Amino acid sequence: MLDSLLRILALTRKELLAVLKDKRSRLSLLIPPVVQALIFGYAATYDLNHVTYAALDQDHSAASRQLLAAVDGSGVFERVADLQRASDIATYIDARRALLVLQINQNFERQLLSGRGADLQVIADGRNSNTAGTAIGYVGSVVEQFNAAWGGDHGWTPPPVQLVSRAWYNPNLETRWFMIPGMIGTLTLIQTMMLTAMSVAREREQGTFDQLLVTPFRPYEIMAGKALPSMLVGTIQATGVLLVAQLWFHIPFEGSYLTLYAGLMLFLLAAVGIGLLLSSVAATMQQAMLYSMLLIMPFSLLSGLTTPLSSMPDWLQYLTAINPLRYAIDITRRVYLEGTGLNLLLSDLWPLCLLAALSLSGASWMFRHRMQ
């Protein structure tokens, strides 16, 4: 038992030395997750803080100016042009010089004063319909405030019901709060899985695997010795991303670190298990790497990181059951933002356990089988 443990430790130490000794490979493991977390933390947001728009004010009235001033004053919109003719709209939208055109028709103020209500036409560039939709929503809330102010001043009856809205866990509804905790799993998956898959393939290519097999190492010890270093690297990477989230983006951490790391460990175990399984299929390092790409891509697209799982068709949702990243993202987000405890995470934890168990036993079967 002790011998076995010492052998695993020796292999772990050797793996870590092989990976971390060379400065270039050390940096290539530690820097990218943090840099990506930083860049994508800024880039990966559906929130808009800079919406370009052009105004086509055909009314030229106090009311229309007041409305446009409200738009300008919101801090999100930047007026890039004042259009003169409706035919200019296409010029601005087509050339992507403005995301929106706000068009106010001739009788705007007259209609408002007559108490009938007036329209604000919003023309949006729908090439990225999601961005356009969000921008239109922003216009909506500016108009709502304008309505409340105008209605109060001019004696309009307020709407019978008002919606009082609150968002839990993310009061200002910032996408970043949602994205970055999700990246803890995503950014670690890529390199953890590849590292594991390639470390066995490398030994095979260089002939050292035979050397390992003739030593007293048992197959499970080799697997453990390969899994531990990758998990350690994964844990360090995850910690890096976690630190970026807290220290750089100041996203408050609500949960318990113990719970978070427990979930991460299970996730890494499953990821490493899949990596080992791949490595037992691949003959060369190149194959190991390409096969891991073949898995990593669907895994990260179908993880719920950028698009919600619930919007996918049912058959695809079932398919995501084998995606460890899906559970990891759910765990990290909920523990991070909501402080969810282990008891509520069971629905994520047991599939991870199952995935880890299946992939690891599959890999160890393959290891023994390939010796035929």
In this structure, what DSSP letter does residue 157 have?
A: P
Q: Does 169 bind another protein (CB under 8 A)?
A: yes
User: Scanning residues 334 to 363, which ones bind another protein (CB under 8 A)?
Assistant: 334, 337-338, 340, 344
71, 93, 266, 270: which one contacts another protein (CB under 8 A)? Answer: 93
264 contact partners, CB below 8 Å, separation of at least 6: 184, 185, 188, 234, 235, 238, 328, 331, 332
Q: Does 174 bind another protein (CB under 8 A)?
A: yes
Piece in contact with another protein (CB under 8 A), picked from 244-252, 253-261, 263-271, 297-305:
297-305
Q: Please answer whether residues 185 and 263 qualify as being in contact, where contact means their C-beta atoms are separated by less than 8 angstroms.
A: no
The least distance separating another protein from the CB of residue 153, rounded to whole angstroms, comes to: 10
Residue closest to 359 by CA, chosen among 314, 292, 298 = 292
Q: Please answer whether residues 98 and 132 qualify as being in contact, where contact means their C-beta atoms are separated by less than 8 angstroms.
A: no
Q: How far is CA 227 from the centre of its chain?
A: 25
Residues 56, 70: Cα–Cα separation, whole Å: 15
Residue closest to 303 by CA, chosen among 192, 187, 171 = 187
The least distance separating another protein from the CB of residue 304, rounded to whole angstroms, comes to: 9
The least distance separating another protein from the CB of residue 213, rounded to whole angstroms, comes to: 6
Question: What are the b/e assignments for 19-58, b being 16+ CB within 10 Å?
Answer: bbeeeeeeeebbeebbebbeebbeebbeebeebbbbbbbb
Q: Does 75 bind another protein (CB under 8 A)?
A: no
* Shorter beta-carbon distance to another protein: residue 47 or 82: 47
69, 151, 252, 321: which one contacts another protein (CB under 8 A)? Answer: 151
Binding mask 237-276 for another protein (x = CB under 8 A): ----------------------------------------
* Shorter beta-carbon distance to another protein: residue 131 or 357: 131
The least distance separating another protein from the CB of residue 97, rounded to whole angstroms, comes to: 8
* Shorter beta-carbon distance to another protein: residue 97 or 357: 97
58, 74, 107, 134: which one contacts another protein (CB under 8 A)? Answer: 134
As a whole number of Å, the end-to-end CA separation of the chain is: 28
DSSP helix/strand/coil, 30: helix
236, 243, 258, 290: which one contacts another protein (CB under 8 A)? Answer: 290
Residues 55, 33: Cα–Cα separation, whole Å: 42
User: Scanning residues 32 to 51, which ones bind another protein (CB under 8 A)?
Assistant: 32, 36, 39-40, 42-51
Strand ordering across the sheet containing 77-82:
77-82, 51-57, 100-104
Q: Does 27 bind another protein (CB under 8 A)?
A: no
82, 84, 140, 252: which one contacts another protein (CB under 8 A)? Answer: 140
